[in-house]
């Protein structure tokens, strides 16, 4: 099994199963997708309004 050293150590102790690690990873991926999408939506809207204002004025 390959992975980052902290993940290998935790998995090697038997305290966490692969299924638990996968579940945690999926949850973190979903949270990351939502946060990045919201951030881009907010910044993108600001950038479009700003560019439009500069072009007009």
- pLDDT given at position 12: 87
CA dist., res. 11 & res. 21, Å (int): 9
Handedness of CA 9, 13, 19, 20 (dihedral sign): negative
Q: What is the pLDDT of residues 1-56, one digit of tens each?
A: 567 888 888 888 988 888 998 999 999 999 999 999 888 888 876 666 666 565 56
- pLDDT given at position 18: 86
CA dist., res. 50 & res. 57, Å (int): 11
Domain boundaries, the chain: 5-56
- pLDDT given at position 32: 96
Is pTM beyond 0.75? Reply is: no
- pLDDT given at position 34: 95
Residue among 7, 35, 5, 12 nearest 22 (CA): 7
Both tokens assigned to 34: 């939502």
């Amino acid at each position: 099994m390959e992975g980052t050293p902290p993940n290998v150590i935790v998995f090697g102790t038997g305290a966490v199963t692969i299924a638990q690690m996968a579940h945690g990873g999926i949850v973190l991926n979903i949270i990351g997708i939502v946060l990045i999408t919201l951030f881009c939506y907010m910044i993108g809207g600001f950038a479009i309004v700003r560019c439009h204002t500069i072009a007009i004025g």
